[in-house]
Structure 1
Amino acid sequence: MAPAGFPGGTGGAGRLSGWHRLPGSAIIGGMRIGIFLLAAQFPGQEPGRILADAVELVVAAERAGFDDAWIAEHHFMSYGVCPSPTTLAAVAIGRTTRIGLGTAVSVLSTQHPVALAEQAAMLHHLSGGRFTLGVGRGGPWQDLEVFGTGLPRYERGFAESLDLLIAALSGGPVSAGGEFFGFRETTVVPAARMRPVVACTSEATTELAAERGLPMLLGMHIGDQDKAAMVRSHGGSASDHIAAALAHVADTTPQAVRELKQAMPAWLEPGLAGYVPVDGRPRPARDVPAYVDFLTRVHPVGSPEHCARTLVRTSRTTGIEHFILMVEGTGDHRRTLENIRRLGAEVLPALR
């Protein structure tokens, strides 16, 4: 699982060019705009219903003109109730025809990289090239114990896992002889030539992504200046990267802010408590009201005009042109559908 605000964490060589322009997608004013689904569980909601609703949100995003939909992975918590974003993406692929699907992110520390590569290759072929794999290191959470990968995989195994994943997605034979993986040469079936994107929440993961020529996914828990600093540190083309943002549109900015400040703490308080460390270390504390205030100030939360201006400001500050918008902030499915519809009808056209 990831740090709050983004499914977190971090080989190959060579810069990527146009990797995110999926077949059939519309590039809006130089920007690429998607949605970001946590499958968040608000009080009184049933996880199975949330997952079914998430698929409906992807369908609605396609109708509204969004370019892609990215799905988070979490385990054993209400912050997000989707343990397998590849499975949810597969269902959504079968319900859509144009929109791109991605994982934001699949956690490498708790699964075998080759098994994940096999799933990604399947989705690549079944979607006609609409699937993008996002991966991250995750955190020192109880998942490591439950799934048997252990704390060492998290603490020092991410680079080895990432390199093995890249090799398994190269379309050719793959073998391993490292600290955590060792097997004779074999061929991944079905084969697919794909390149992952990497969630970066630290200097170490940023360096790792840069060394392997992979673009970053940056979380909504940091502001424009911090994102810009990470882009500079990476050293690649800023337009290759992706930034997550909270997005909520209403008739006025005060109304949009008020709706989220009323709804989000009831989700975040128990949700963030679900991050249980595997080794007894203190769980990082978060001032939830202050965090919600931060999110509503720096992200596109407000009138349609305010939302559009905010995205343009972030793009100009960071150079990033691909945004994925977390649209579930009220926890009300009908209001989320309205949010997607209004963002598509009133914000996306303003960015052309």
Structure 2
Amino acid sequence: MKIGAFLLAAQFPGRDHTSVLESTLAAAVAAESAGFDDVWLAEHHFMSYGVCPSAVTMAGFVLGRTRRIGVGTAVSVLSTQHPVALAEQANLLDQLSGGRFRLGVGRGGPWVDLEVFGTGLERYERDFPEALEVLLGALRGGRIRADGTTFGFREVEVVPGPRTRPHPPVVVAASSAPTLELAARLGLPLLLGMDRVPAEQAARIAEYAELAGDRAARGHVVTGLAHVADSRERAREAVLGAMPEWLGPGLAGYVTVDGRPRRRKDPEEYARFLCDTHAVGSPEDCAERLVAHARATGAAEIILMVEAAGDPGAVLDNIARLGAEVLPRVRAALWRGRRRDPR
């Protein structure tokens, strides 16, 4: 199983956009040095929860600053952009990076983004399946045309085509039943969020496998949080001392386009949930949690939100300690388990 770093470009209190983006880039480069397999970049609009509005643009910059590590989007929001334009960008990065780019896509939400970008609520509620199928067709390169309800255009040649065949790796964020069913129908692997405990992530993967049958993909990605310190108490103190002050104004940035009510997470409660659920503790604690997470879900990759302490120096220290003290333990334990059960 691969282990990746997940970067939100989170704007903790007291930090400006320049310092957040510069430290996000530094964290991505540090993840490569620390031995992570991949780094995944989030996309958000109009909120301090994350100040990267284009995950694919940030991915291109990170690819240019790194040499080995895979770089993915978690996710590029398909409801606010044209699928062919996103496919062109993905194929460009696939070509120039030598196949290191991964494309995570999601439906997004009923947020004000739909109004600002002019795509409208129907792109979120109705048109995601059509957009995803057009995206997949364009990612394969060659001639493509569309005659759908939303996307209709004459035949064109998509350039560049992909370097990776049949197309760059694609995962689909699935937080709802319709999206999970769509991913299963298309045979695309899932990307599951850290707001679910591992047992819930495992249940969704099992449901996907039943729906997909012979089409089932095996490259599922699950998300977690990881913060390592000398003891469990110190790790929890660092996370609980920083995350709620970011989560409060950050989560408030999710504004619905049509005024529909939504349930808001309590920042303190959510931060405690993340500490209780994910790899927050000593190196031994973190390794044990991650091995259990991997075995529970059977996913191909777990990606770890590493910015929970907020301070840029603390984030870099966390990445370095995870690479030196946690990842080797996890890989050794999973390798021993694989040798005992080679299936």
Percent of paired sites with the same residue: 59
Cα deviation 1:118-153 (Å, max 9, x = unaligned):
000111011110001000000000000000000011
Matches within 5 A, 1:233-272: 233-235=207-209, 239-272=218-251
TM superposition score normalised by structure 2:
0.92
SS in 1 for 2:141: coil
Measured in 2, the distance between the counterparts of 1:229 and 1:238 equals 16
Partners of 1:57 and 1:239 lie apart in 2 by 28
Matches within 5 A, 1:182-331: 182-192=152-162, 193-235=167-209, 239-331=218-310
State the partner residue of 1:94: 64
Retained in 2: the 8 A contact 1:169–1:195? no
* 1:153 maps onto 2:123 in alignment: yes
- Paired position in structure 2 for 1:3: none
2:132: which partner in 1? 162
- 1:173, distance to aligned residue in structure 2 (A): 1.2
Q: What is the rounded CA distance, in whole Å, between the counterparts of 1:116 and 1:338 in structure 2?
A: 34
What one-letter code is carried by the residue in structure 2 that aligns with 1:118?
Answer: E
- Please tell me the residue identity of whatever aligns with 1:321: A
AA paired with 2:249?
A: P
Cα distance, 1:171 vs structure 2: 2.3
- Identify the residue that residue 17 of structure 1 maps to in structure 2: none
Structure 1's unaligned 5+ residue stretches are 1-30
Relative CO higher for 1 or 2, CA cutoff 8 Å, sep ≥ 6? 1
Preserved contact between residue 4 and residue 40 of structure 2 (Cα < 8 Å): yes
Q: TM-score, normalised by structure 1?
A: 0.90
CA distance in 2, matches of 1:172, 1:226: 39
Mapped partners of 1:240, 1:132: distance in 2: 12
- Structure whose residues are more often helix by fraction: 2
| Inter-partner Cα distance in structure 1 for 2:67 and 2:110 | 37
1:13 counterpart residue number = none
**Number of aligned residues:** 322
Distance 1:249 1:100, change over 3 A: same
User: What is the alpha-carbon distance in structure 1 between the residues aligned to residue 293 and residue 218 of structure 2?
Assistant: 12
2:21 alignment partner, SS class: helix
Instruction: Check whether the contact 1:36–1:324 (CA below 8 A) recurs between aligned residues.
Output: yes
Specify the code of the residue in structure 2 equivalent to 1:175.
Answer: R
Distance (Å, rounded) in 2 between the aligned partners of 1:103 and 1:238:
19
Runs (4 or more) in structure 1 with deviation over 3 Å come to: 236-239
Inter-partner Cα distance in structure 2 for 1:248 and 1:348: 12
Q: Contact 1:239–1:319 at 8 Å: present in 2 too? A: no
**Structure 1 CA distance for aligned equivalents of residues 88 and 46 of structure 2:** 25
One-letter amino acid matched to 2:183: A
Whole-Å Cα distance in 1 between the matches of residues 248 and 217 of structure 2? 34
Q: Contact 1:239–1:322 at 8 Å: present in 2 too?
A: no
Alignment-derived partner of residue 83 in structure 1: 53
| Paired AA for residue 103 in structure 1 | T
Q: CA deviation at 1:238?
A: 7.8
Mapped to 1, the partners of 2:64 and 2:130 lie a distance apart of: 33
Aligned-residue Cα RMSD (Å) equals 1.1
CA-to-aligned-CA distance 1:244-269 (integer Å, 9 cap, x gap): 11110000111101111111000000
Deviation track 1:53-108 (CA, whole Å, cap 9, x = no partner) reads 11111110000000000000000000000001111111111111000000000000
SS at 2:95's partner residue? helix
Q: Which residue of 1 aligns with 2:112?
A: 142
> In the TM superposition, what whole-angstrom CA distance separates every residue of 1:167-205 from its partner, at most 9, and x where no partner exists?
001122111111111001111111113241100101111
How far off its partner does 1:309 sit?
0.7
Q: What is the distance in 1 between the residues matched to 2:120 and 2:73?
A: 23
